Amino acid sequence: MNIDGLRLRIRTRAACVGVIGQGYVGLPLAVGFARVGFTVMGLDNDRDRVLALTAGRSHSPDVASEALAEVLREGRYRATTDASVLERCDVVIICVPTPLRKSKDPDISFVVAAAEEAAAHFRAPQLVILESTTYPGTTQELLTPLFEARGARPGRDVFLAFSPERIDPANPTFGVRDIPKVVGGATPECAEIAALLYRQLVERVHVVSSPKVAELAKLYENLFRNVNIALANEFALMCRRLGVSVWEVIEAAATKPFGFMPFHPGPGIGGHCIGVDPAYLAWKMRLSGYDARILRVADEINRAMPDYVVDLVAEALNRRRRSLNGATILVLGVAYKRGVGDVRESPALEVIGKLRDCGADVAYADPHVPEIVLDGGTGTLKAVEPSGERLAEADCIVIATDHREFDYRRIVEVARLVVDTRGVTRDIDAPAERLVRL
């Protein structure tokens, strides 16, 4: 088969698509392609996850188990741990995690492993796309040499591209098919073939001049959010010193119909993107001898927020003649954002750890997270039910994640003291000594 044959198989949706990584990004993408008619192989090295997917049980808030079961019944989707299936694929898409090391340097070991698997099972012609967020230059510096070492020439035998994932877990408005795709190819032919693939799934595809531009576009998207959240967090600290509600100020500013976009403060930032991606760019710039100052300052502000939350709790307890040491604290929500069970980089975990270090007796409730691993792997903590009795007995309730399942009005009515880090109680009247907002 030549390039024209690959184009035809993609255009007619007869192509077999392999998606490496069946997590929050890979599974919605895989099921999305399967639902529009492609045959999809979902590759993952987590055997338990593969068994669950094979049984039709989805772990993603963006893929209903019913939708997964449907593509399984139709034979359009298969989950597997066997990398040899990539040899039968016309398209391979890499959707694996890109975390940070403790040194805040990029950890691209998952990308390297996935790319090596793809290269090991390569057959020409094949479209290979990296979707994992990474530092600018990864596609051409890592993927291209791997395939060239096997005699594959980009644009002739292998079609290499980068297309950043833009999944927003649990977003009911924008799913995988609603979000425009950005595509950068190693050659014009690579970009054209990758764009053709994504046009089978999404309405709008924006082609850029190179993979590096596409890689930087994703980093800039999340840098934008990171910096503006840091601004909101810093502004919250200033408003508190001035005795003004930051939530009221932001609400007033947001009435301007142009030139303003509201961002809100919180206990910190978390998840696999917003807090991590700017570090990838900062690392790359350090290698180039450039100090990305705004990234460094934003990171310092955001990472200081868990300490600030603990200080708020201590101050609020002190006003009630209660010490943080020995206090019973119930933290509501440990996921990094509402509606998901993902705790990666969640500031709530850091808040819990710091409260425990201060001697507090901490429990948590989260309808999406049944158990968490304590800092340093020293043990686990299981979720509790936020019953009326438990709410009333706690010395302090800390709202760390604004899940919709929590009845905030009832919580404020029943609890002795509430510290709200998400602004979900701003429409609820309560004495200042019982309700403290960020």
DSSP 103-170: TS-B--HHHHHHHHHHHHT--SSEEEEE-S---TTHIIIIIHHHHHTTTPPBTTTEEEEE------TT
What pLDDT, on the 0 to 100 scale, is given for residue 368? 95
3-state SS string for 319-385: HCCCCCCCCEEEEECCCCCCCCCCCCCCHHHHHHHHHHHCCCEEEEECCCCCEEECHHHCCEEECCC
What pLDDT, on the 0 to 100 scale, is given for residue 192? 97
Candidates 426, 382, 384, 383; CA nearest to 402 is 426
Q: pLDDT for 1-25, tens place per residue?
A: 788 899 999 999 999 999 999 999 9
**341, 271 contact by CB (below 8 A):** no
Cis, bond preceding 125 (omega within 30 deg of 0): yes
| Count of other CB atoms within 10 angstroms of residue 353 | 17
**How sure is the predictor about 212, in pLDDT bands with cuts at 50, 70 and 90?**
very high
From-to residues of CATH 3.40.50.720 in the chain? 3-209, 225-437
What pLDDT, on the 0 to 100 scale, is given for residue 275? 81
| 3 state DSSP class of 398 | strand
What pLDDT, on the 0 to 100 scale, is given for residue 189? 96
| Average pLDDT across the chain, whole number | 94
What pLDDT, on the 0 to 100 scale, is given for residue 106? 87
CATH of domain 225-437: 3.40.50.720
What pLDDT, on the 0 to 100 scale, is given for residue 233? 97
Q: Is the pLDDT of residue 104 over 80?
A: no
The Cα 115–Cα 140 span in angstroms is: 12
**How sure is the predictor about 170, in pLDDT bands with cuts at 50, 70 and 90?**
confident
Q: pLDDT for 272-304, tens place per residue?
A: 788 888 889 999 999 999 999 999 999 999 999
What would you measure as the largest C-alpha separation in the chain, in angstroms?
77
Q: Tell me the mean pLDDT in the region 163-187.
A: 90
What pLDDT, on the 0 to 100 scale, is given for residue 103? 76
The Cα 19–Cα 13 span in angstroms is: 15
What is the percentage of the chain residues whose pLDDT exceeds 90?
86
CATH of domain 3-209: 3.40.50.720
Candidate from 107-121, 131-145, 159-173, 188-202 with smallest mean pLDDT:
159-173
Angstrom CA distances, 79 to 17, 21, 115, 323, stand at 12, 10, 19, 52
Q: Which residues of 234-266 are buried (b: 16+ CB within 10 A; e: fewer)?
A: bbbbebbeeeeebbeebeeeeeeeeeeeebbbb
What pLDDT, on the 0 to 100 scale, is given for residue 220? 95
Q: Is the pLDDT of residue 432 over 90?
A: no
What pLDDT, on the 0 to 100 scale, is given for residue 167? 84
The Cα 368–Cα 337 span in angstroms is: 11
Catalytic residue list: 273
Joined tokens for residue 418: 């509430």
Q: Is the pLDDT of residue 37 over 80?
A: yes
Report DSSP state, residue 186. S
Q: Is the pLDDT of residue 107 over 80?
A: yes
Candidate from 24-33, 38-47, 98-107, 265-274 with smallest mean pLDDT:
98-107
Report DSSP state, residue 183. E
What pLDDT, on the 0 to 100 scale, is given for residue 16? 97
What pLDDT, on the 0 to 100 scale, is given for residue 204? 95
What pLDDT, on the 0 to 100 scale, is given for residue 421? 97
